[in-house]
């Protein structure tokens, strides 16, 4: 189905772009944590490929694409190498990195949903794996860097919600048999725009109602 929506070359190019941008965010985390070159490379690889690896293992698409396509494996290393030498300049274009990260979020949540559905999962399960594809690498990055995952922090702009919306739109298109390059592209763009708006206006998920906790906030 993915091949019917996009040509293999277009799909591969989109995947590599998304992987590259996610890898940059992982490598920058390594720099901020004062990791060595190996640690920076590990965070870049995990951030870029973690979500897709998790999805492929769950649906039985083995060996995962990250281990059969050398480009998928090499791209995060190139991103890490760039950050090692140019991280002050990369930090200065953090806004641009965030924009591309939002684009990768939209692309991966929709592509992950469709791939899971292709492997026989139900609509709800496919949407869940689409979400995991988009955010799984970031969660692994934060855990390895000894951080509370951004996904779970109330003081971070919405990240999972845009991916949930994109995945939901994809499964609705599958449910009603209207999945086309246009409708799948609309799902990607919707997730992308929601993430950009969340960053611009600092939209955040609500916390517990009438919260009276005495636990110190981190």
Per-residue confidence (pLDDT) for residue 17, from 0 to 100: 86
- Cα separation, 186 vs 190, in Å, equals 6
Whether residue 208 is contained in a domain is answered as no
Number of domains within the chain = 1
Whether residue 206 is contained in a domain is answered as no
Q: Are 107 and 11 in contact (CB under 8 A)?
A: no
Q: How many residues does the chain have?
A: 218
% of the chain at pLDDT higher than 90: 68
- The 8-class DSSP code of residue 63 comes to S
Whether residue 180 is contained in a domain is answered as yes
Mean pLDDT of 4-22: 79
Q: What is the mean pLDDT of the chain?
A: 89
Question: Does pLDDT of 94 surpass 70?
Answer: yes
- Cα separation, 44 vs 20, in Å, equals 9
Whether residue 207 is contained in a domain is answered as no
Whether residue 214 is contained in a domain is answered as no
3-state secondary structure at position 110: helix
Q: What is the pLDDT of residues 183-194, one digit of tens each?
A: 999 999 999 999
Both tokens assigned to 134 = 């988009």
Whether residue 215 is contained in a domain is answered as no
Mean pLDDT of 1-16: 71
Domain residue limits at 35: 2-201
pLDDT bin (cut points 50, 70, 90) of residue 177 is very high
Per-residue confidence (pLDDT) for residue 212, from 0 to 100: 64
Whether residue 213 is contained in a domain is answered as no
Question: Does pLDDT of 2 surpass 90?
Answer: no
Whether residue 211 is contained in a domain is answered as no
Per-residue confidence (pLDDT) for residue 3, from 0 to 100: 52
Q: Are 48 and 79 in contact (CB under 8 A)?
A: yes
The residues, any chain, with a CB within 8 Å of residue 6's CB and separated by 6 or more, are 14, 181
Q: What is the pLDDT of residues 22-57, one digit of tens each?
A: 999 899 899 989 999 999 999 999 999 999 999 999
């Amino acid at each position: 189905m993915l091949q019917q929506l996009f040509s293999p070359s277009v799909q591969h190019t989109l995947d590599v772009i998304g992987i590259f941008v996610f890898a940059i965010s992982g490598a920058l985390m390594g720099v901020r944590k004062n990791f060595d070159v190996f640690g920076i490379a590990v965070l870049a690889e995990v951030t870029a490929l973690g979500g897709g690896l998790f999805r492929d293992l769950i649906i039985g698409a083995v060996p995962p694409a990250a281990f059969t396509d050398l480009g998928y494996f090499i791209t995060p290393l190139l991103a890490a190498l760039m950050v090692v030498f140019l991280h002050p300049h990369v930090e200065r274009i953090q806004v641009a990195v965030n924009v591309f990260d939002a684009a990768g979020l939209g692309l991966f949540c929709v592509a992950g949903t469709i791939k899971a559905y292709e492997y026989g999962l139900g609509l709800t399960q496919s949407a869940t794996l689409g979400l995991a594809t988009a955010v799984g690498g970031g969660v692994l990055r934060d855990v390895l860097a000894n951080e509370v995952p951004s996904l779970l922090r109330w003081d971070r702009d919405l990240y999972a919600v845009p991916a949930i919306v994109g995945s939901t739109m994809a499964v609705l298109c599958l449910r009603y048999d209207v999945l086309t390059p246009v409708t799948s592209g609309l799902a990607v763009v919707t997730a992308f725009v929601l993430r950009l708006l969340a960053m611009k206006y600092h939209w955040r998920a609500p916390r517990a109602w009438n919260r009276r906790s005495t636990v110190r906030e981190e």
